[in-house]
């Protein structure tokens, strides 16, 4: 069996970050430096954002889909009770699949 080429399993990144996060990072960096006409506070914020890049790259190396997972988790409820409440509406899911023999 032939080995899998690394480009087929390596995530696609931009600036070493996930693509949406990299685009957001690059846009913020551009706005903070050029958009505020090289104001010293904008340059200071851009420098602090530049110090954040190695940390974000390390996080992306450990979990390439971490940012997307975090954004997706924001849509979930903040709390799920351990069991259903008696006031909960009935389930709208279809009937479960029958048990497989075996």
Q: Residue 54 pLDDT more than 90?
A: yes
Q: What is the pLDDT of residue 98?
A: 73
Quote the pTM value: 0.66
Residues 6 or more apart whose CB falls under 8 angstroms from that of 98 comprise none
Grade residue 25 by pLDDT with cuts at 50, 70 and 90.
very high
Enclosing H/E stretch for 75: none
Range list of H helices, 1-102: 6-9, 19-30, 40-62, 66-73
């Amino acid at each position: 069996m032939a080995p899998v080429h690394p480009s087929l399993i390596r995530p696609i990144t931009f600036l070493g970050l996930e693509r949406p996060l990299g685009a957001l990072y690059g846009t913020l960096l551009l706005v903070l430096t050029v958009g505020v006409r090289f104001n010293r506070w904008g340059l200071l914020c851009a420098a602090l954002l530049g110090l954040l890049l190695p940390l974000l790259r390390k996080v992306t190396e450990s979990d390439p889909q971490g940012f997307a997972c975090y954004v997706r988790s924001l849509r979930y409820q903040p709390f799920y009770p351990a069991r259903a409440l008696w006031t909960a509406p009935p389930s709208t899911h279809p009937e479960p699949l029958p048990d497989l023999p075996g």
